[in-house]
């Protein structure tokens, strides 16, 4: 048993990214009481867990999409795992960046799934697998 499974969270942790960079689309931003303070939490389309913003991550999004969080909805951001110094120790964290190039416009309904060519061989398992189920 993983002890982390005994304490589930509705917020993203670095381990949820499984070491990968993930593109997500903002669906909502709310202020939530985290016990000691209220902080902004970004929610994403198709994902259950929210991402608690700090000053660093909020500045990255604000520089790209503006100060009004309503303007962030439908926009794509990248979440990536890294480390930062906290109270003299290196700790895991999630950082944000804006994808390079022109992001695809938001889509209300997912596009139809195209069948792969007959000679296509997947190396990552089933096409139905959600690689990051956060």
Q: Report, as an integer, the average pLDDT of 29-42.
A: 94
Q: Is the pLDDT of residue 128 over 50?
A: no
CA distances from 58 to 77, 112, 113 (A): 11, 33, 34
pLDDT tens track for 48-77:
999 999 999 999 999 999 999 999 999 999
Tokens of 124: 């990552």
Report the mean per-residue pLDDT for the chain: 83
- H/E stretch holding 90 reads strand 89-97
Q: Report, as an integer, the average pLDDT of 121-133.
A: 48
Query: Looking at residue 7, what is its pLDDT?
Result: 78
Three-state DSSP class for residue 125: coil
Query: Looking at residue 133, what is its pLDDT?
Result: 59
Three-state DSSP class for residue 82: strand
């Amino acid at each position: 048993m993983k002890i982390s499974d005994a304490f589930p969270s509705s917020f993203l942790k670095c381990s949820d990214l499984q070491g990968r960079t993930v593109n997500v689309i903002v669906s909502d931003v709310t202020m939530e009481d985290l016990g000691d303070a209220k902080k902004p939490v970004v929610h994403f389309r198709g994902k259950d867990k929210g991402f608690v913003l700090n000053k660093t991550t909020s500045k990255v999004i604000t520089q790209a999409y503006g100060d009004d969080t309503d303007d962030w909805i439908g926009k794509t951001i990248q979440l990536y795992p890294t480390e930062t110094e906290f109270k003299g120790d290196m700790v895991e964290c999630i950082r944000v960046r804006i994808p390079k190039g022109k992001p695809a416009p938001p889509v209300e309904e997912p596009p139809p799934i195209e069948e792969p060519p007959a000679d296509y061989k997947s190396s990552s398992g089933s096409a139905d697998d959600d690689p990051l189920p956060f």
